[in-house]
Amino acid sequence: MSTHANAACEESEPAFLGCVEQFFDKAAAVSGVKSETLAAIKRVDAVLSVTFPIELENGKTEIVRGYRAQHSHHRLPVKGGIRYADEVDMQEVEALASLMTYKCAVVDVPFGGAKGGVAINPKKYSTRELERITRRFALELCQKNFIGPGIDVPAPDVGTGGREMSWIMDTYRQFNPTDINSAGCITGKPVNQGGVRGRTEATGLGVYYGVREFLKYDEVQKQTGLTGDIEGKRVVIQGFGNVGYWAAKFFEANGAKIVGVADQDCGIYNEQGINIDELQEYKSAKGVLGGYSSGTIVPESIKLIEAECDVLIPAALERQIGLKNVNRIKAKVIGEGANGPITPAAHDILVKNGRVVVPDLLLNAGGVCVSYFEWLKNISHIRFGRMNKKWDEQGKAQLLSLVEENAGRKLTVTERQQVIHGAEEHELVYSGLEDTMIKACEETRVTANEFGNIDYRTAAIANAIRKIAAVSEGSGSLFTNRG
């Protein structure tokens, strides 16, 4: 959807990296952190730009360019996704790496931020060609010491998934055959390659948890006129990839009505609600949303974000709401499922107009949270729940037997199983993610209310800055003038 950026943004508005820096500067001004520390936090610690030749199946050779940025080494390893897209460049990678640092700090994940990109359209290549490109990029990262369990932990992003992560992990293992923690060098892997259950839906689930929490706050209800329940809320989703699909699915499962879904080719609007699984099946079969019959087609998909709704989830790409379209946004709550979908000037107008913006570094942090859980699983070498599931069930069964004896009634087999059921891995992951999001949302709310006149984005970034500063200053890792 990056082709729609000009439809949203004026030429005077900054590019993605400039947007991130403007948001940082605004939060830095209220953070109370020393200027020299702020300067150190803002800079990017390390960048890598590489080119390499790839032989295609037709016998031709193509030169591919890749990037990796490590924004902050205040905590190690650094973590961030790898994006495959034609438009990827170093500025975008630096912007995303910076956001990842602040995102990790906001949700108390002990990683620094990183990001990577390969400037290709993955749809133009065969599986064998993609594997060659991915392995060669991983080789470059290994040779430049930009990858490893204690250094840098790449993860999937747009255009990549578990398959690509497995290729990178295998390449790393070939260079480090004695590293018993090699599975921890990559997150977002398939479960059979050391991945964690719940990772696929994590970012979308985090989006749902975050919006749910903000709707509970009295001040948000007063500002928007909405009730505190998800049930009955009209939701528009922009971007029907992994994040958009799972966010829509969790909203729908909890009683919301998905009235609009936009993707690259077009949008679908239906005031009566869209069946998300049915729409996903159609897209899987056709590759596009165009032609879907249960709703009105919106040919210019970016226009769908202007539709009447209670909650808007921009889950596509950056700079989708700018000065050209911001005053036509009707949603009362905008939850940023994507990174950087709103420009600074547009954000200020939304806040002035009484809209509640739940920022990207908080709302879409579900992915990095569960990547952290996957990393913990890999370095501990054990599946979550393996050691205690049956023990928990036995303890619950004994307690339930005492209750049944005193109550004079025995539960049915189904009822009994529901009560004593021990948590599976994905349930523990969901629980950990939910607790993390509740705490991070509340911290953001407290900071915003403490200052009284700052928005939730500024509050979230200010919290991140304070946490990063505490680690950096406490460790003595900053170079400071001591007279």
Task: Report pLDDT digits (tens) over 432-472.
Answer: 999 999 999 999 999 999 888 799 999 999 999 999 999 98
Calculate mean pLDDT across residues 289-305. 92
DSSP string, 225-291: ---S-STT-EEEEE--SHHHHHHHHHHHHTT-EEEEEE-SS-EEE-TT---HHHHHHHHHHHSSSTT
Looking at the predicted structure, is the pLDDT value of residue 159 above 50?
A: yes
Segment 75-133, tens digit of pLDDT: 999 999 999 999 999 999 999 999 999 999 999 999 999 999 999 999 999 999 999 99
CB under 8 Å to 7, separation ≥6 — which residues? 300, 302, 324, 325
Cα distance between residue 95 and residue 93, in whole Å: 5
Any binding-site annotation on 79?
A: yes
Any binding-site annotation on 303?
A: no
The CATH number of 44-193 is 3.40.50.10860
What is the pTM for the complete model shown? 0.92
Share of the chain above pLDDT 90, in %: 84
Catalytic residues: 115
Any binding-site annotation on 103?
A: yes
Any binding-site annotation on 12?
A: no
CA 475 to chain centre: 28
DSSP string, 286-335: HSSSTT--SSEEESSGGGGGGSS-SEEEE-S-S--B-TTTGGG---SEEE
CB under 8 Å to 336, separation ≥6 — which residues? 313, 314, 342, 357, 358, 359, 360, 363, 364
Match 């199983």 to its residue by tokens.
417
Looking at the predicted structure, is the pLDDT value of residue 24 above 80?
A: yes
Give bridge partners of residue 209 from the DSSP assignment: none
Contacts 24+ apart (CB under 8 A), 141-146: 141/48, 141/68, 141/116, 141/168, 142/171, 142/172, 142/175, 142/176, 144/48, 144/50, 146/46, 146/48, 146/68, 146/70
Cα distance between residue 166 and residue 195, in whole Å: 10
Closest to 111 in 3D by CA, of 199, 206, 187, 29: 187
